[in-house]
Structure 1
Amino acid sequence: MNNKAIITSALPYANGEIHLGHVASTYLPADVTTRFLKLNGVEAYYVCASDDFGTPILIQSEKEGKTPAEYVAHWNKRDYDDFSAFNIQFDYFYKTSSPENIAFVQDVFKKLNDAGHIYEQEIIQFYCNNDKKFLPDRYVKGTCPHCKAEDQYSDLCESCGRVPEEIADPKCSLCGQVPTKEKTKHYFFKLKNFGDSLTKWLEENTHLQKDVKKYVQNWIKSGLIDWDITRDITWGVPVPLDDAKDKVFYGWFDNHLAYISTALKFLNDKGIDGKEFWNSADIYHFIGKDIVYHHYLFLPAMRLGINSEYKLPDYIPTRGHLTLQGKKISKSRNWYIGLKDFLEFYPADYLRYYLVSINPYSQDDLNFDWDDFTTRINSELIGNLGNFVNRALGFTKKAFDGKVPKIESFDEKDSEAEEKIKNLASELGSLLEQNHLDRALKKIMEFSSFFNTYFQHKEPWTKGPGTANCVYLSVNAARSISIAIFPFLPESAQKIWTQLGLCGNVKDSSWSGISEFGVPAGHTLGVASPLFVKVEESDIEQHKKQLGSFEK
């Protein structure tokens, strides 16, 4: 494991609230991984930024009577507050409209231009005579020429994940009218020239998901298309050329460069050489499957185009979309759950537990189901983990006045329990290093279940032989759980730590400490109390009724 890491996740678009679909595939897995790396002694930093540019923001800010800068500043703060409430712990959260990112983007463009990777070309672009404007990107909808999926945006087919060269059956997404075609000049990035170097990078990077890598390689074989990187709007990073005064960069040209510019800003401000750190660290970009094209083709090609001045990603963990009660999430139909709304009803750890447990390291879609959420929280989190910790600590308080007893000779069951603790750190670590977060969480629950059974088998309440061993091992197992669940459930981890009567913060522990016996005989525990509160089915029925209604 590298001793340095920079973690990023797809940037939240500064045009509306964060909902459950946003956090499931990118922010939560990135946060869990960062916390795990830090416990392992890695100098790891999780940086992110709001994605501030683009036509939708320009239009929406006009509707609300705000400048685009005022509009995105509101959402930048709101998004950060919502993430913080969910215990997504960024080391730094910035914005693509920052002066640092604007300067960085323009510098990268100049280098690409000087290297011969940029050219200007007159193109025919959709123009809406009704709205009197060129229609970039998401303001043209039609049929994907590759997979024939209907109602797709012109810059990305959400069905097959490809970027259409030209959308079929186009319509203005503002007014629904068929647009005309008008001449305009745009700047293009020579993506076609990078087929061989992209293939080489894909073949050499052994950390990338094999299934994703395979179909990206097929895209390359079928022929890459040069990339239109400018737009005819006023809100964006200005193109730094005298004859391009009315043009800005396409959002996908500038936003992933904010991964680098934000990291550099943060590190340089800390007195660390940002560029040197970036190039010596493991680089993680957590994304959803809908933006594979951008992160496996555009992003690496641009870095290759400036001679890999900033290293390409080592890991691009890619996960599927979240559906809700079996249906696609839709804000327009109110078929979504806002993160802020959810956290008004349930602790962040409930949602963190559920989303990790249903989310494999694959592109398979996952489904949030209220009934399944209820079952998993009540039977797994409360009935298993919460039950074990409470009974182990509560019994010690009651039977031994809160003092951990001295151990005696271990019997076979005690030795088995001891081995479970000794092996847990390495077993979990291996899964987390491979990004199998769901499997690691399941392993913790199996560990807790084992100790529930062990405690029941030993019957310490009879105060027979082996009672002291049972209490000693169970209390230390609770300590192991406290550290092990910290990346997943940070608030609950600290509660257990405090109930164990341990000093400081669980986040300052080491990962290897999971398998140590850190609660010695004679140690006095803190106050034991239930970690979790049951999810009531009557409340869940009310939450279900809220979906699809406009009374929220």
Structure 2
Amino acid sequence: MNSKAIITSALPYANGEIHIGHVASTYLPADVTTRFLKQKGVEAYYICASDDFGTPILVQSEKEGKTPEEYVQYWNKRDFEDFEAFNIKFDFFYKTSSSENRQFVQDVFKKLERAGHIYENEIIQLYCNTDKKFLPDRYVVGTCPYCKADDQYSDLCEKCGRVPEEIENPHCSICGQTPVKKKTMHYFFKLKNFSDKISQYLEDNKNLQKDVKKYVQNWIKEGLTDWDITRDISWGIPIPTDGPSEKVFYGWFDNHLAYISSTIKFLNDNDIDGKKFWNESDIYHFIGKDIVYHHYLFLPAMRLGIGEEYKLPDYIPTRGHLTLQSKKISKSRNWYIGLKDFLAIFPADYLRFYLISINPYSQDDLNFNWDEFATKINSELIGNLGNLVNRVLGFTVKSFNSIVPGPDEFDDMDKESEKMINELVSHLDTLMTENHLDRSLKKILQFSAHFNQYFQHKEPWKNGPGTNSCIFLSVNAIRSLAIAIYPFLPESSQKIWSQLGLEGNVSAQMFDEISSITLKEGHKLGSVSPLFEKVEESVIEEQKSKLGASS
């Protein structure tokens, strides 16, 4: 493991509230991983930014009668506040419309142009005579030429994940009319020139998921097409040429460059050589499976095109989409759960626990189900983890006056439990390093379940032989749990830490401390109270009734 790391997530569009589908695949896994890396002593920074440009934002700001600047400023602030409430802990959250990113994007373009990777070409662009404008990207909907899915945007098919070369049956997303075709000059990036180099990068990088890598390699074999990187709209980063003023970079040209520009600004502002740090670090880009094309093809090609001035990603953890009650999340049909609304009802750790537990390290889609959520919280989080903490610590307070006793001679069951503590760190380390966060959480629950059974079997309330050893080991196991669950459940982790009578912040504990038995005879516990409250069926039924209801 590298001693330095930079972690990013796909940038949230600054055009609407964050919902549970957004956080499941990208922001939560990235946050958990960053917290883990910091526990491991890695100098890790989690950097993100709002994605402020592109046609969707221009469309929506026009609808609301706001300037694009006003519109994205509101959503940048609101999204950051929602992430914070969910304990997504960015080291820096910036914006693609920053002066730093504008400058960086224009500089990259000039370097690519000088290297011969950019050319200008006249193209036929769809134009709406009703709205008097060219119609790029989200202004056009139609049929995907590859998988024939209807109602897809011209810049991305959400069904098959490919970027259509030309959408079929196009119509204007504003007025619904069929557009006409007009000539316009655009800049292109020679993507197909990088087929061999991208293939080599994919082949050499053993950290990338094999299934994702395989179908990207198939795309390359089928033949890549050069990439149109300009748009005929007013909102975006201007092309640094003497060309027409209403021509800007396509959002996908500039947004992933903000990974670099935002990181460099943050590090330089903190007296760290940003460029040097980037190139010495493990680079993680967490994404959902719908933007594989952009991150596995466009992103590496652009970095290769400027001579790998900034290193390519070491990891691109890619996960599936979240459905809700087995249906596709849709804001327009009110079939979604806003993050802010969720956190007004339940603690952040409830959602963090549930989403991690159902989310494998794969492109498989996952489903949020309200009844399953209640069951997992009540039986696993509360019935297993919460029960162990409350039971052991409560008993120690009541029967031992909050003082940890010294152990007796260990019997076989004690030795087995001691071994569980000693081995927990190595089990979790492997799983966390390989990004199997769901399996790591499952291992923690198995550890907790073992100590519930151990405590039950030992029957310390009878005060027989071995009682002191049971309490001694069980309290130390809870300390292990507090450190182990920190990346997943930061609030609950700190509560356990405090109830153990330990000072400071649990986040300061190193990961390897998980398997240390450090609470000795005479240690005094803090104030003990239940960690969690049961999820009531009536509350779940109320939440289900809101789905699809007209607002």
TM-score (normalised: structure 2): 0.99
Give 1:94-109 correspondences, 5 Å limit.
Answer: 94-109=94-109
2:383 aligned residue:
383
1:274 aligned residue:
274
1:48 aligned residue:
48
* SS of 2:195 mapped into structure 1: helix
Mapped partners of 1:489, 1:235: distance in 2: 40
* Aligned AA (1:495): K
Mapped partners of 1:414, 1:217: distance in 2: 52
* Aligned AA (2:113): N
2:370 aligned residue:
370
Mapped partners of 1:317, 1:535: distance in 2: 32
2:361 aligned residue:
361
2:217 aligned residue:
217
Mapped partners of 1:505, 1:56: distance in 2: 42
- Post-superposition shift, 1:399? 0.7
* Aligned AA (1:38): K
Mapped partners of 1:57, 1:160: distance in 2: 24
Mapped partners of 2:145, 2:16: distance in 1: 30
1:235 aligned residue:
235
Mapped partners of 2:462, 2:60: distance in 1: 68
Q: Deviations over 1:209-256 (max 9, x none)?
A: 000000000000000000000000111000000124321000000000
1:134 aligned residue:
134
- Post-superposition shift, 1:65? 2.9
Mapped partners of 1:41, 1:129: distance in 2: 59
1:255 aligned residue:
255
Does 1:295 find its partner at 2:295? yes
- Post-superposition shift, 1:64? 2.6
1:111 aligned residue:
111
Mapped partners of 1:107, 1:416: distance in 2: 61
1:35 aligned residue:
35
1:505 aligned residue:
505
2:494 aligned residue:
494
Mapped partners of 1:319, 1:244: distance in 2: 40
2:84 aligned residue:
84
1:440 aligned residue:
440
Does 1:458 find its partner at 2:458? yes
1:15 aligned residue:
15
* SS of 1:113 mapped into structure 2: helix
* SS of 1:48 mapped into structure 2: strand
Mapped partners of 2:277, 2:474: distance in 1: 42
Does 1:24 find its partner at 2:24? yes
Structure 1: any 5+ residue segments left out of the alignment? none
Mapped partners of 1:98, 1:317: distance in 2: 27
Q: Deviations over 1:7-59 (max 9, x none)?
A: 00000000000000000000000000000000000000000000001222223
1:74 aligned residue:
74
Mapped partners of 1:61, 1:363: distance in 2: 33
Q: Deviations over 1:464-519 (max 9, x none)?
A: 00000000000000000000000000000000000000010000000000000121
* Aligned AA (1:129): N
2:329 aligned residue:
329
Does 1:343 find its partner at 2:343? yes
- Post-superposition shift, 1:148? 1.4
Mapped partners of 1:116, 1:514: distance in 2: 53
1:422 aligned residue:
422
- Post-superposition shift, 1:145? 1.1
Mapped partners of 1:460, 1:225: distance in 2: 70
2:245 aligned residue:
245
* Aligned AA (2:519): V
Give 1:523-538 correspondences, 5 Å limit.
Answer: 523-538=523-538
* Aligned AA (1:421): I
Mapped partners of 1:504, 1:528: distance in 2: 17
Task: Please give the root-mean-square deviation of Cα atoms over the aligned residues, in Å.
Answer: 0.7
TM-score (normalised: structure 1): 0.99
* SS of 1:293 mapped into structure 2: helix
Aligned residues with identical type, % of pairs: 74
1:413 aligned residue:
413
- Post-superposition shift, 1:149? 1.5
* SS of 1:79 mapped into structure 2: helix
Q: Deviations over 1:354-399 (max 9, x none)?
A: 0000000000000000000000000000000000011110111011
Structure 2: any 5+ residue segments left out of the alignment? none
- Post-superposition shift, 1:181? 0.4
Mapped partners of 1:384, 1:500: distance in 2: 18
- Post-superposition shift, 1:66? 2.2
Q: Deviations over 1:415-458 (max 9, x none)?
A: 00000000111100100100100000000000000000000000
* SS of 1:292 mapped into structure 2: helix
Q: Deviations over 1:130-184 (max 9, x none)?
A: 1111001111111111111111111111111111110111111111111110000
* SS of 1:453 mapped into structure 2: helix
1:60 aligned residue:
60
Mapped partners of 2:537, 2:8: distance in 1: 37
1:545 aligned residue:
545
* Aligned AA (1:229): I
Mapped partners of 1:141, 1:433: distance in 2: 41
Mapped partners of 2:64, 2:217: distance in 1: 44
- Post-superposition shift, 1:402? 0.3
- Post-superposition shift, 1:537? 0.3
2:393 aligned residue:
393
* SS of 1:60 mapped into structure 2: helix
* Aligned AA (1:453): Q
* SS of 1:163 mapped into structure 2: coil
* SS of 1:340 mapped into structure 2: helix
